Structure 1
Amino acid sequence: MKRIIVFIFSALICAGQAVLYAESEALSALQNAAPVDSLNMLQVQKPVELPSGLTEETKDAANSPSPLSYFPMEKKMRYEYEYTSSEFLGTKRVVVEFVEYSEKDYTTTVKVTVIRGSKIQSGTFFIQLTEKGLHSSDSILAGKRTEIPFPLYRGKTWEEGSNTYRITSLNAKTAVPAGSFENCLKITAKIGDGDAGTASRYYASGTGLVYEEILGEDVQEKIQLVSYQIMN
């Protein structure tokens, strides 16, 4: 019995020495290890995925105009458009004026005057800036809508009612009576999921809306910019 007790005691001592040795080795390894480079760890992490449709061409915001440059709602602007439609003969002249901008409400009051011969019609609507984009309470051809969505990138899509909209280009070209414009924001639409027609519109940086066309199942309409100016 005495031998067995001595043997067990010796085994316990050996086991304790082994544990102490292992702890000593682990501590030594920690002390001699190189410090963790947290910056390198961040650099090898997976980059944030970009929204669908965002390409190398348009992902750098520094190379893309501000969304507000396509629709200078904070300025007193005057636009004159030529308006044609399958619903009437000839053309109409449409004058759009940005009358007043409210910094408190981020809202612009817009006056619209439609002239055809001696007939003159006028009305007022509003454009509001929100975190989701620029929104009009009315428009010349399409009524209430989102003029320009945020964030702004090629391939962005959104829905309003039964219509689906898409930003198809940030460098489109178009020619209208007011001149030729490059680097335009182009928005296309499928009306009624595409069953009722299509639409497209162009916004020129520093100018605003320069061209819009609706090719509907029942009606075809178009406006083209004839002239524009910044009012004092």
Structure 2
Amino acid sequence: MAPSEFFPLTPGLRWAYEHRSSEFEGVEIVELALEALPGTPPGSAARATLLRHPPEAPSREYSYDIRATGTEVFSEGGILGLTRREFPLPPKVGQRWVEPPDINEIVSDRETVSTPAGEFSGCLKVNTYLAAGDSGCAVRYYAPGVGYVFEEYSSETWGAQVKLIRFSR
């Protein structure tokens, strides 16, 4: 499977997620759409636009860039507001990388994950050990052909869960 299959950067793709967080009550719906990033080869980068529908608050929108280089997929933002290396390219089980103070590891490429959008098999699973595990942990999953489908994040200061509810091409 091509590495980009776990994080497709095709303009026109659209996702919708349920986002729960210890920072607010209820469920926030987050819509994400990709558009071409000018001056970049197709499939290597995209501009992501997030439209947030928080519970009992006005909707808000912002954009950030995502890039797939020869060595990594890197996001300059996202639903949890984190700038991060999503995973190295090509992704391989057992790969570890450090984004100080956190340690990340690809622990599987055969996971099955169920979300309101359906069941996804052959998923890439990434574990993150916050402050090397002293501050909490996170787990996220990327489905082939779909991308980011689920994340659970738990630190000393906050927790969050993100689940895919819709995907369209």
Tell me which interval the TM-score lies in, with the shorter structure as reference length: over 0.9
State the one-letter code of the partner of 2:9. M
2:142 maps to 203
Larger RCO (alpha carbons 8 Å, 6+ apart): 2
Residue in structure 2 matched with residue 12 of structure 1 by the alignment: none
Q: Establish whether residue 188 from structure 1 lines up as the match of residue 127 from structure 2.
A: yes
CA distance in 2 between partners of 1:114 and 1:214 (Å) = 19
CA shift in 2, pair 1:214/1:142, >3 Å: farther
Q: Give the aligned residue type for 2:59.
A: I
SS in 1 for 2:5: helix
- Describe the shift of the 1:187–1:142 C-alpha distance in structure 2 as closer, same or farther (beyond 3 A): farther
Residue range with higher mean Cα deviation, 101-110 or 65-74: 101-110
Paired letter, 1:152: P
Which secondary structure does the structure 1 equivalent of 2:157 belong to?
coil
Rounded to whole Å, the distance in 1 between the matches of 2:40 and 2:158 is: 39
Work out whether 1:222 is the aligned partner of 2:161.
yes
Give the match's secondary structure for 1:119. Answer: coil
Task: Provide the residue aligned with 2:118 in structure 1.
Answer: 179
Partner of 1:59: none
Contact 2:127 2:138 in 1 (8 A): yes
In structure 2, how many angstroms separate the alpha carbons of the residues matched to 1:225 and 1:128?
21
For the aligned residues, what is the CA RMSD? 1.4
Greater share of strand: 2
Q: CA deviation at 1:181?
A: 0.9
CA-to-partner distance for each residue in 1:6-31, whole Å, 9 max, x for gaps?
Answer: xxxxxxxxxxxxxxxxxxxxxxxxxx
Native 8 Å contact 2:4 2:68 kept in 1: no
Q: Would the aligned equivalents of 1:73 and 1:101 in 2 still touch at CA under 8 Å?
A: no
**Larger-Rg structure:** 1
Structure 1 residue 128: Cα displacement: 1.2
1:132-171 → structure 2 map (5 Å cutoff): 132-171=71-110
Is the contact between residue 74 and residue 101 of structure 1 (CA under 8 Å) also seen in structure 2?
Answer: no
CA contact (8 A) 2:109 2:123 kept: yes
Unaligned runs of 5+ in 2: none
Where structure 1 has 5 or more consecutive residues not aligned to the other structure, the ranges are 1-64
Cα contact 2:125–2:139 (8 A) shared by 1: yes
Q: Secondary structure at the match of 2:4?
A: helix
TM-score normalised by L of structure 1: 0.68
Q: Which has the higher helix share?
A: 1
Aligned residues: 166
Structure 2: which amino acid aligns with 1:148? F
Name the counterpart of 1:77: 13
Which of 44, 47, 65 aligns to 1:109? It is 47
What TM-score do you get using the length of structure 2 for normalisation? 0.93
1:59-105 Cα shifts (integer Å, max 9, x gaps): xxxxxx11100111034211000000111110000001112244636
Large movers: runs of 4+ above 2 Å = 101-107
Q: How does 1:6-21 map to 2 (within 5 A)?
A: none
